[in-house]
Amino acid sequence: MIPALLGTKIGMTLVLGEHGVAETVTVVRAGPCVVLQVKNKESDGYDSVQLGFGDVKPHRSTKAMIGHAAKAGTGPKGAVREVRLDAPATVAVGDVVTVDLFAGEAAKYVDVVGTTKGKGFQGVMKRHGFGGMPGSHGTERKHRSPGGIGASAPRGTGRSVKKGKRMAGHMGQVRCTTSSLRLIKVDAENHLLLIRGSVPGPVGALLFVRRSKKRG
C-alpha cells in the first residue's frame, strides 16, 4: 500500500468533535494522484512509486514530462514526487490513488510536509525572538538592533563572527514537517482530509501527506 498522497492546502475551519468540543482543523485536498512510474529492487535498487498530482496545460510543461505522463495514460502533472516503499509495490503504472488509503483504521495520525510561508528579510527580534535594546536611557535609533556580535579578530587568525551566529537574514520559505497530526475526517467524495491543527505553508500550497512514522 502507498503510504502517502500529494495535495493542496484549502484553509482552516472549526468542526465539532464527538463530545461537542470545537476542534481547529486544516482542510487539505489530497489526490487523486496518478502512478507515473514504479521502481523495484531488481532494476533500480529500491522499491518506490512516482506520483503525479495536478493537471497542467501541455504548453506549460516539457516534452519529456508529456511523454513520461503519456506512458501512464494521463496528461502532464504540476507536481511529481517519489514515495519510498518497504515492500514491492502492489500498484501499476496508470493506477489512481485517492484518499481512500487513509479511510477507516488505515491511519489515525499523519505527517504533513510543506514549505513554510516566506517572510523576507527580517531582523533579529522577529527572526530569533531577541528582546531588543533599552527603550530609553540614551538609546538612539538602536532599539531593534542585535547588539554586540563578537570581538574583532586580526586577519588570518580566525572568524570574528562565528558560524551559526543568530543575526538578521532571510526568514521562512523552508521545508518543514509537522508530525503526528490527528486525522479527524476523510471525505472520499470530495477528496478532502480534515487534519487537526495547522500545517506548513499558505493557502494553495503543495503538501505531502503521509502516514505518521511515529504513531502509525
State which H helix or E strand residue 113 sits in: strand 109-115
Residue 149 lies in a domain: no
Q: What is the pTM of this model?
A: 0.84
Residue 37 lies in a domain: yes
Beta bridge partners of 22: 16
| Domain of residue 77, residue span | 4-118+174-211
Are 73 and 94 contacting, i.e. CB atoms less than 8 angstroms apart? Answer: yes
| Counted domains in the chain | 1
Residue 45 lies in a domain: yes
CA atoms of 172 and 74, how far apart (whole Å)? 35
What is the domain-level CATH number for residue 182? Answer: 2.40.30.10
Q: Is the pLDDT of residue 56 over 80?
A: yes
Residue 16 lies in a domain: yes
Residue 106 lies in a domain: yes
Q: What is the mean pLDDT of residues 157-175?
A: 88
Amino acid at 42: E
User: What is the pLDDT, as a whole number, of residue 164?
Assistant: 87
Q: Using pLDDT thresholds of 50, 70 and 90, give the confidence band for residue 36.
A: very high
pLDDT tens sequence across 94-130: 889 999 888 876 568 999 999 999 999 999 999 999 9
Which string of DSSP letters, residue by residue, matches 25-58? EEEEEE--EEEEEEE-HHHHSS-EEEEEEEE--G
User: What is the pLDDT, as a whole number, of residue 1?
Assistant: 67
Are 75 and 55 contacting, i.e. CB atoms less than 8 angstroms apart? Answer: yes
CA atoms of 55 and 119, how far apart (whole Å)? 29
